[in-house]
A and B are shown apart, each in its own frame.
Chain A
Amino acid sequence: MSDETGPDGRGARFHGLILIGGLLFGFGLGVSRMARPEVVLDFLQFQDFGLLFVMGGAAAVSAVTFTLGADVLRGTAPLTGRAYGRRVKQLDRNVLVGGAIFGVGWGLSGICPGAAYASLGVGNWPILWAIGGMFLGAYAQGYARSVLADRRGAEGIPGAD
């Protein structure tokens, strides 16, 4: 994602559209049953492979959309002036290490960020344990990164982000 651009639009239309997108996204997480940790665990324990259709269906729609934006329209988005691009990130060791840590957490709990927010929306209050844990983990990671960056900065070695 081209996060290095300036602040995104903050108008009512911008937030209204983001809200509509979030509503559809959350509704889909409900319909697809991904907001239920039990269903995700069933998938990971090879008892119900339906999750493949969730990810496949969503990725197919996003693939068509990104192709339309990046290859056909080739312009900028009306509400932000941001260029239509794709989500391409650098492949490094962190992608593998992070994916593995994420995998242990996902396999243990059946919960990932988007599904956890959605789960809160269906009144699943025990999911607050998972959401609290995710914030704790993200904070711990950020704290460790900051300390490492300071140390590297003092030694004059540029730290990888």
Chain B
Amino acid sequence: MVGLEGVLLQAGPLVETFPWLAAFFPEGVVSYALGGLFIGLGVAVIYLGTGITAGASTFLETTLSYTSRLPRFNRRKYLASRDWRLTFTLGIVLGAAAYALTIGPGGWTTAVQPWRLLVGGVLVGVGTRVGKGCTSGHGVCGVGSLSGTSVTNVATFLVVAAGTAQVVMALGVVP
């Protein structure tokens, strides 16, 4: 199984033709592009069958509606979609598990420190709700819709995230 992952991570003909690209794509581009196509395919299947443009972050609010009585989480539009968002998220978890157990490397855990995950998670939770979407809602569905709003949101979070990661790296926080 390591062999297949090896194929996915090879530099590929593009990098062989243009060696200078290797500095920017040390792991090649095959696994990235192929993964992106699968992500898009998941969006396409749901869209063509149901007309829904599926993003991943609204799951947070709709799932809170099961336990919270706050009117914010119990609006009609969240109650209407909370069931399928659970199914969608279950699918994401199982799909990633299927990858890990077949062509992937099996189970693994991140070395990124818990405080970074927690604080980053809180900010992502706030930001995605204030900004009306995330990397899949704005980044895939919104950009795929040629939505100026989504392009603006993606450009904003890409620039800010890169800046943040650079500062964190400069401060010597590893990993």
**Known: A21-B91, A29-B92, A146-B70. Contact between A95 and B49, CB under 8 A?**
no
Interface of B is mostly: helix
How many chain B residues touch the partner (CB < 8 A)? 129
Q: How large is the interface on A (under 10, 10 to 19, 20 to 34, 35 or more residues)?
A: 35 or more
Task: Choose from B39, B76, B80, B96 the contact partner of A121 (Cβ within 8 Å).
Answer: B96
Assembled-state Cα–Cα distance A115/B14 (Å): 27
A49, B100: Cβ atoms under 8 Å?
Answer: no
The answer on a CB contact under 8 Å between A109 and B45 is: no
Q: Contacts A87-B141, A104-B161, A135-B60 known; A122 to B152 CB distance under 8 Å?
A: no
Check if B3 is an interface residue, CB within 8 A of chain A: no
- Alpha-carbon separation in the docked complex, A55 to B93 (Å): 19
A137 touches B123 (CB 8 A): yes
Q: Tell whether, in the assembled complex, residue A63 and residue B42 are in contact, meaning their CB atoms are under 8 Å apart.
A: no
Does any Cβ of A come within 8 Å of B33's Cβ?
yes
Known contacts A66-B53, A90-B149, then 4 further A-B pairs from the complex at CB < 8 Å, ordered by chain A residue: A62-B144, A102-B131, A112-B135, A146-B70
Which residues on A are within 8 Å of B, measured CB to CB? 1, 3-10, 14-15, 17-38, 41, 44-66, 68-69, 76-80, 82-91, 94-127, 129-143, 145-146, 149
